[in-house]
Amino acid sequence: MRITLSQLKKLAVETKSGTKLGRVYDLVFEVEGQSVAQYFVKSSVVSMNIGMDKYLISRSQVLSINDKKMVVEDSVKKIESDEEVERGGVDVRPATMREES
């Protein structure tokens, strides 16, 4: 199955246990392997704690993707802020690249 980025952004993202996380809003693309390394997911509703919840999901945490939804492991990382990613608080490199450092 193939999917475009615009289709991916419309898919519901939920955990294996059924918790609805939201939708993909960005991704990290691994140029060398020409593949998606990680997905950034944003909740579709504003939570009680000020804003939208955001999650960083590694390719290895994705259990399935179809034309209706993406299912991921229950252990996805919640991102506290976009600045956390920008200043390096979240290592967006694939695990294999982090091990080489």
End-to-end CA distance of the chain: 34
Q: Is residue 12 pLDDT above 70, yes or no?
A: yes
Instruction: Report the CATH number at residue 44.
Output: 2.30.30.240
Tell me the residue range of the domain where 34 lies. 5-100
State both tokens at 97. Answer: 């690249």
Number of domains in the chain: 1
pLDDT in tens, 39-98: 999 987 655 555 678 888 999 999 999 989 999 999 887 887 665 555 444 554 444 444
State both tokens at 96. Answer: 């294999």
Q: Is residue 100 pLDDT above 70, yes or no?
A: no
State both tokens at 26. Answer: 């960005």
